[in-house]
């Protein structure tokens, strides 16, 4: 997502929340981008918002967001952060996940599906450290 993208976060599930847990050593970011015809965009957004609620309370889900691209409003992205591979695998095997696979069918092209394994996350400390040099 670009810096101009709008984020639709679920109440109580802050993106920053994941970084407050000292025991989290590995985070897996799941990202699914679906592009639809403009007439189907609102339908997809409503369905993904409804789908994301139960996902956000699954074991191991650190955050769950639905994003709409500012430069391509017909493109919607679901993004979740998972504590580890076991939690992500459990999520992918759920009956609930089949609903997301069905929503992908609304797309006008193949979805962009990505899983990123993050070993380290830095914040303002990296900027401060780098700019001092």
Q: Options 3.40.50.740, 3.40.50.2000, 3.40.1160.10, 3.30.70.100; which CATH number does 6-132 get?
A: 3.30.70.100
Q: What is the DSSP letter of 92?
A: H
Domain residues of the chain, as ranges?
6-132
Residues 40 and 78 sit within 8 Å (Cβ to Cβ): no
pLDDT at 9 over 90: no
Confidence band of 122 (pLDDT split at 50, 70, 90): confident
106-116 average pLDDT score? 96
For the stretch 14-60, pLDDT in tens is 444 444 444 446 899 999 999 999 999 999 999 999 999 999 999 99
pLDDT of 12 reads: 45
Report pTM: 0.76
Q: For residue 6, what are the β-bridge partners?
A: 68
- Choose among 119, 116, 114, 7: nearest CA to 52: 7
In the chain, the percentage of residues whose pLDDT exceeds 90 is 69
């Amino acid at each position: 997502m670009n810096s101009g993208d709008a984020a639709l976060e679920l109440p109580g599930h802050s993106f920053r929340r994941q970084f407050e847990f000292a025991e989290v050593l590995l985070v897996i970011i799941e990202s699914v981008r679906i592009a639809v015809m403009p007439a189907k965009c609102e339908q997809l957004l409503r369905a993904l918002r409804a789908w994301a609620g139960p996902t956000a309370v699954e074991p191991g889900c650190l955050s769950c967001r639905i994003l709409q691209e500012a430069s391509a409003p017909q493109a919607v992205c679901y993004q979740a952060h998972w504590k580890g591979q076991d939690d992500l695998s459990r999520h992918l095997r759920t009956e609930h996940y089949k609903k997301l696979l069905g929503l992908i069918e609304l797309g006008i092209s193949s979805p962009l599906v990505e899983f990123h394994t993050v070993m380290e996350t830095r914040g303002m400390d990296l900027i401060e450290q780098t700019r001092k040099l």
